[in-house]
Every structure is written in C-alpha cells, then in structure tokens.
Structure 1
Amino acid sequence: MPIISNANHDFSNLSVSDDSSLDHIFTEIPETETIKGVYYQRAQFIRHREDLLSVDHGLLALINVGGNRYTFPWSTLEQFPLTRLGRLKPCSSLEEIACVCDDYDETQHEFFFDRSPNAFRVILNFLAAGKLRMLREMCALSLHEELNYWGVEMAYMERCCKRKMYTRIEENAELERREEERRQRSLQLRPPAEETRYRKFMNHLRDTVENPQSGLPGKIFAVLSVLMVAVTVISLCISTMPDLREEENRVSFNNKHRHITKLNCCGKEHGDVIVL
C-alpha cells in the first residue's frame, strides 16, 4: 500500500465558514473499507510479560509505546515504508535504530517510543485494519502532531474525521495570525522610548543588581550580597549559643536592677513611694 502525500496541497483557499471549500480534498481519495479477518494477524497487544517469550523476532517487531507492548509482522510494516515504524525494517545498526525510536533493548529486541499510548490507538487501528479515524476524546491538533511523528498521511483518514481536522487546523492558524497581527499593531502604536541619560543609568543599575554577569559592578554587588547573607546567618547562629544567652540575660538583669535603684532614689527625693 503506497504512501500518498498531501504536501503539495494549497490550503490558502480554504474557509472555516464554508465547509464546501474542503470538498476537493476529500474527493481525491475514496474512503477505505475495513480489512476483515486480518486485524489480529497484523497487530497483537501483549497483555502478559510471559507472552514475550513466544515472540519470533525474525517475523514480528516488538513495539513498546508508553509502556504498552505490541507485535507487528515485519510484512505489515513493509507496506508502510515511509512511516516511522516502517523505517525500522532496514535499520542495520544501533545508530540507525536510535534515529527512529527513543530506546532499544538488545536482549528483548524491543523498540521503545516515548509517546502517548492512547494516541497510538489511532495508528494501531490504521496498521491493523486500514482505518484512520479520530478519537472522540483526543484533540485534533494533538492527533495531527501524532500523525506527523509516526509519518502517517492524513490522506488515509476517513472523510468526516478529515474534515474536522482540517477545519480545526485552519481555525488555529487563523487565531495565531490574528494574535500576531494584534501584537504587531500594539508594537507600532507604542511610542518609542527615548534613550535619555537617566534611562541609561537606571538600565545599568538594574543590570548591576539583577545580573552578576553584566560586569565588574554586578559581580561586586553579588559578592557583597552573599557576604551580608552569610553575616546575618552567622550572627543568628551565634545568638542562640547558651553561653551568650546567659551573658545577655545577666547584662539585662543588671540593667534592670540599676533602673529600679534609680527609680527608688528618685522616689525618695520627691517623697513618693514606688511599688514594684
């Protein structure tokens, strides 16, 4: 089954408000029918680790996607040579395998892909049954990203799903275009800031305080800041020492005693009675 690409399509004449502008894309490739009776011959989900012992790696490719293991006959992957899984067949070295998948277990002959196992259900159904359909719980843009990663063309997607995806992609592109225009318009309306001497000084002062790599003043300020923090921490630690606390309590008691004595003397001179 050859890979058909839509890379040469011109989407500039598409319109979100009018779905009829997408019809010429969907009529190029007719909807495919599900291949009956060969689903489990083309893909198998490994439910138990002991099932890995019976895998013939010469005939089957062991694929691990986000922790879920599947086996695909190499003959199935050969039918999709431009997909990421199809590119595993001609790999003859670890360097070539590393360019296709995220990891490879030489002992188990297991190819690991760090991708969403839920999104891979779309790819699994396509390879096994020949049907490429969107999942209801999956974002159209996320599915588009997954299809690009696995190298599966949207030309194989069913008509209704393809319409939803193209419409959602166009809506997102239109939102990004409007956001960029709004940003450019705000930059044009904003008056340019005058580079006065005061502004230069404030910019230099801000760089000195925030960026130690701005120059020698910034490095000196950073060193002084670290020293001040260190002195503060050391002084707090010293103040908690028992001997020093006893000395502070003794000095405080003597000062309080002298203050009371002074009050008593003043009270006697004026004939007052001081009660403590």
Structure 2
Amino acid sequence: MWTIPKPKYRRGFCAEGEIAVNIGGVRAVLFGDVLNRYPESRLAELLNCSTQNPERISSLCDDFDPGRREFYFDRDPDAFKCIIDVYYFDEIHIKRGICPICFIKEMEFWKIDQNVLDECCKTYLSEKEEELNEIAIKVKVILEDLVVDQCITRRQRCQRYLWKLMEKPGSSLPARTIAIVSFFSILVSALVMCVGTIPELQVTDAEGKLVEHPTLEAIESACMLWFTAEYLLRLASSPNKLHFALSFMNIVDFMAIMPFYVVLSLNYLGNSSMMELANVQQAVQALRIMRIARIFKLARHSSGLQTLTYALKKSLKELGLLLMYMGVGIFVFSALAYTMEQSHPETLFRSIPQSFWWAIITMTTVGYGDIYPKTTLGKCNAAVSFLCGVIAIALPIHPIINNFVVFYNKQKVLDTAAKHEVELMELKSGREAQMLSLHSCVVNFANLTVLPATYSMVQRSS
C-alpha cells in the first residue's frame, strides 16, 4: 500500500518542482523532492539540469520536449515502475516476469545502486547469474569440442584428439566405444572381487590357505592394466594436469588403481625376505579392501550418479537435521530403555552405550531382534521410539527428494539451453558469412532484423 503519493501518470504540463518522463510511451509526472532523495540518479540529474544545456540533457535522455518539459526514454516501462519504488520506499523488488539480468542493466541505466534490491531479489538474481555462468561453461565446453584450430601444432592436435577420445564419449564412435569398454571393465572388476571371496571358487596355496583363483586374478590384472592405461592417457592428454590430478573423480580413479601395484610390491618384498611375511600379508589384506573404491568410477560414466551427488551436496542442511533428530532420539530412548529394563533379571541392556545399538535399529525400523525389551514399560518405550524414528526420517526426506528433482530438471534445461545457444551462434556466424558475400546494405539490414532477440541472447552468452 502506497504511504507516499504515487507518481502521476497523466497528460499535460507539469508544475514547478515536477518532472515529466515518457518511458516507452507511458508518461509519468514525478515530484522533485522525491527524486532528490537519490541525487546521483539519472532522474535527479535531469531535474536539476538546466534546460539551457541541450548537450547535457541529450546525454541523459533520448529526447526532450522543452515546451512541456518532458523527457523521453526508450526503455522498458514495466521495469521503470519497479525502479521508481526506490524513491518512495528505499528498496526495489523485481516483479515476476522481468528478467533479473535485464533489470540490473535498467538499474545501471537509471544510476541506482544494486544495494537497494531487497534480499529476496538478490537471492533470485544470484541464482540466475549462476545459471547463466553454468550455461556459459557448457557452451564453452561444446565450442571447444567443435572448434578446430588450424594454427596449433601436430602435437597439440594429437593431444586434443586424445583428450576428446578419452573424456568426450559423445564426440565420436571410437570415444563411445572406449567409454563402453571402461564401463564394462569396472563391472567385471567389481564382479571378480565379489566372486573371488566364494570359498568354493578359491584354491589352496603352498601354506594351506585359501586364496583367489588364478583365473580371477588374471582377469583382475587385465582390468587393472586397462584402468592404468586409461588413467595415464587421460593424464597425458589433459590440458591442465594439476587440475586433473586434484579432481575428486580422478583421485578416486587413482585410489582404485594404487592398491593393486602396492600389493604387487609388498608380495615381491615379502618373497625377497626384505619384510616379515606376516606383516606383508596383513598389509595385502588391508589394501585389498580398498578395491571397493573402483565402483565409484561408475560415477564418471553416469550423469545420474553425478546428479545424485550434487543433489546430496545441496541437501547437506536437511541431512544434518536428519542426523540431529536421530542422534537426539537415540540418546533419549537408549537411556530410557536402559533405566526401564534394569528391573528385569534377564535384561539385555547392560549399559547405555550398548543400548545405542538397540535404539538405532529400532528408530530406523530395522529390528534385528538381538536386543529387545522384556518389561512393559520397555516395550512402550520401544513403540514410541520407532514411531518417532519414522517421523524423524520422513520429515527431511521430501526436501531431499525435491532438491534432487529440481537439480535434475535444472541440469536438463541448462544442457538444452547451452545447445540452443551454440545453434544460435552457428546460425549467426552463417548469416554473417552470407551477408558478407551479398555486399548489400539492404539485405544486411533485413537479415539483422530477423532474430533481434536471438542475437541479444548470443551476445549475452558470449
């Protein structure tokens, strides 16, 4: 609700101390004392500018009618209705339907500082800026795949070709084949690791101990050689090797490869009597457990797993609340269960820390049955605990799922927008080439006015 008189949208002459502006065909009469609240703004400068200085006036507006003292601006009237709020309320809200990036340009034109934006609009603006940055990054990646620089050396061309072959499955059929082979190698390696623990498929070594079958070891060795060659080729072709080595997924790849060679080294040292055999075997068993890290290599080939990872990172607050709820519930109900069960001679609750395990499996509705209450009060406490556990788990689940759906849909939209921007750039470059070949100003003007909004999008993304 307006607590200060609104700007007057009317026809006719403006009185003394007022200023008339025409914004895209919408005329408004503004009060001088209101405009002087922001003396550095464009409207305040026009108000205090002398009509005898046409050069100064022309630099501040698009046209001027000295008889009616009316200033003309070829700007968006809807955005101006938001801009004018700063003179009355000392803050600005971006109305629905107005592009926030274009609105910031309007604020810069009217010389209004961005700090007057309300906090909600600043958040909305930052989200849109992040989306544009992500689109720009995706466009840059696509253009890097499409652009072929003829000036680079043969070595650089080979490095770029190898990088696309190892990192861009969609760039060519060989690259897609390598990605499929790598994907199935990960699955085979994980399957061999699991099957190798079946006692019926193990063999007895010279000391009478069960070890993996030699065939399974050979298959695993072949997979590890493939992973090693793939990692080294990707590292050699990487344009930024330090960034490549410090990338999270590449660290996972390295951690999945490293135990294999460490085990080989320890076995060699053990056979050479340089180390005690017992210590070597213990180290080998510990390092073999690290083979499970190779399953995380699937995330590099699955956009769905990557989206799930990003969504969980966005849901850290909700996950923290879930852990806090469960932690409080586990502490409370385990202490109550221990206290209530002490009256029973055959109680299974020996201590509160031991009762933590019962509280965890009860609140998560797992219920192994290894520890259970025997008194009436203990059973009532158990009923309340699993009801509270269901509620505590259910409350943060919806925000987490919603974050995943929103992030997944957003990534699809951004991918489509990036491809669309690239298509528009190609269309623009094709039209420019056509216009240069025609050598006609009339044809140039006709071609340039076909997609004005399209070219503005291209310029913004570039």
TM-score by length of 1: 0.50
What is residue 39 of structure 1 aligned with on the other side? 5
Cα pair distance change 1:212/1:111, threshold 3 Å: closer
Q: CA deviation at 1:62?
A: 0.8
What is residue 28 of structure 2 aligned with on the other side? 70
Q: CA deviation at 1:167?
A: 1.6
The structure with more helix, counted as a fraction of residues? 2
Q: Does 2:66 correspond to 1:106?
A: yes
Q: CA deviation at 1:136?
A: 0.8
Cα separation, 2, equivalents of 1:70 and 1:212: 45
Q: Structure 1 segments of 4 or more deviating over 4 A? A: 210-213
What is residue 88 of structure 1 aligned with on the other side? 46
How is 1:137-148 mapped onto 2 (pairs within 5 angstroms)?
137-148=97-108
Cα separation, 1, equivalents of 2:122 and 2:31: 28
Cα separation, 2, equivalents of 1:211 and 1:83: 45
What is residue 398 of structure 2 aligned with on the other side? none
The answer for unaligned runs of 5 or more in structure 1 is: 1-33, 194-209, 214-276
What is residue 134 of structure 1 aligned with on the other side? 94
Cα separation, 1, equivalents of 2:149 and 2:9: 62
Cα pair distance change 1:191/1:75, threshold 3 Å: closer
Cα separation, 2, equivalents of 1:191 and 1:126: 50
Kept after mapping to 2: 8 A contact 1:39/1:129: no
Relative CO higher for 1 or 2, CA cutoff 8 Å, sep ≥ 6? 1
Cα pair distance change 1:170/1:97, threshold 3 Å: same
**Count of aligned positions:** 154
Q: CA deviation at 1:183?
A: 1.9
Cα separation, 1, equivalents of 2:93 and 2:44: 20
Kept after mapping to 1: 8 A contact 2:34/2:87: yes
CA offsets, 1:171-230, max 9 Å, x none? Answer: 21232233234324433xx3639xxxxxxxxxxxxxxxx5789xxxxxxxxxxxxxxxxx
How is 1:146-185 mapped onto 2 (pairs within 5 angstroms)?
146-185=106-145
Q: Does 2:18 correspond to 1:60?
A: yes
Cα separation, 1, equivalents of 2:150 and 2:62: 48
The structure whose Rg is larger is: 1
What is residue 244 of structure 2 aligned with on the other side? none
Kept after mapping to 1: 8 A contact 2:37/2:87: no
What is residue 208 of structure 2 aligned with on the other side? none
The answer for unaligned runs of 5 or more in structure 2 is: 152-436, 441-462
Specify the code of the residue in structure 2 equivalent to 1:116: D
Residue 63 of structure 1 aligns to a residue in which SS? strand
Specify the code of the residue in structure 1 equivalent to 2:82: V
Kept after mapping to 2: 8 A contact 1:88/1:97: yes
Q: CA deviation at 1:71?
A: 1.4
TM-score by length of 2: 0.31
Specify the code of the residue in structure 2 equivalent to 1:88: L
CA offsets, 1:99-146, max 9 Å, x none? Answer: 000000011110111111111110122223333001112122221221
Kept after mapping to 2: 8 A contact 1:66/1:114: yes
Residue 107 of structure 2 aligns to a residue in which SS? helix
What is residue 3 of structure 1 aligned with on the other side? none
Cα separation, 2, equivalents of 1:114 and 1:76: 23
CA offsets, 1:29-86, max 9 Å, x none? Answer: xxxxx8x63233xx2222xx3xx24x31x31011111111111122222221222212
- Pairwise CA RMSD of aligned residues? 2.6
